[in-house]
């Protein structure tokens, strides 16, 4: 969820205020996954989004651009980036890794409770 601190944020030709911020809707245009090429550990997920409606979105980055962004945080690791299929949906109850030999994304169900979910249950 995006929170705006100040009224009057300009988004395109529309000035957004606290009164109309709830009207914003976004959709994912593409998703990239950066992983360690030796272990298959997923290190970073880059989700590109655009505002729904007749707005002209910025062009999504390519795999090389995402790789350059990730290198800043994981510079000495052997990194690779894959673009996920357009209809792919990340599941919050699953964990992901990439098979180093085939380069295929693998999903495994992870029924453990995440800390943020544990806190929500306590409320």
Q: Cα separation of 40 and 49, whole Å?
A: 26
Q: What is the pTM of this model?
A: 0.64
Q: Cα separation of 63 and 83, whole Å?
A: 7
Q: What confidence tens digit (pLDDT) does each residue in 21-77 have? A: 666 677 777 889 999 999 999 999 888 877 777 767 678 888 998 998 899 888 788
33 CB-contact burial (10 Å; exposed 0-12 / middle 13-18 / buried 19+) = buried
Q: What is the DSSP secondary structure assignment for residue 115, as one 8-state letter?
A: H
- What pLDDT score does 4 carry? 43
The DSSP bridge partners found for residue 79 are 36
Structural contact between residues 49 and 61, judged by C-beta atoms closer than 8 angstroms: no
Two tokens at 59?
Answer: 């062009």
8 CB-contact burial (10 Å; exposed 0-12 / middle 13-18 / buried 19+) = exposed
């Amino acid at each position: 969820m995006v929170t705006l601190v100040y009224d009057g944020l300009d988004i395109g030709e529309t000035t957004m205020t606290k009164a109309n911020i709830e009207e914003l809707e976004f959709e994912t245009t593409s998703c990239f996954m950066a992983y360690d090429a030796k272990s298959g550990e997923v290190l970073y997920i880059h989700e590109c989004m655009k505002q729904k409606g007749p707005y002209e979105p910025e062009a999504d980055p390519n795999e090389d651009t995402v790789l350059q962004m990730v290198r800043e945080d994981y510079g000495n690791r052997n990194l690779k980036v894959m673009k996920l299929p357009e209809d792919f949906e990340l599941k919050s109850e699953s964990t992901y890794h990439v098979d180093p030999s085939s380069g295929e994304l693998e999903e495994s169900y992870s029924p453990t409770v995440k800390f943020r979910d544990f806190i929500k249950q306590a409320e």
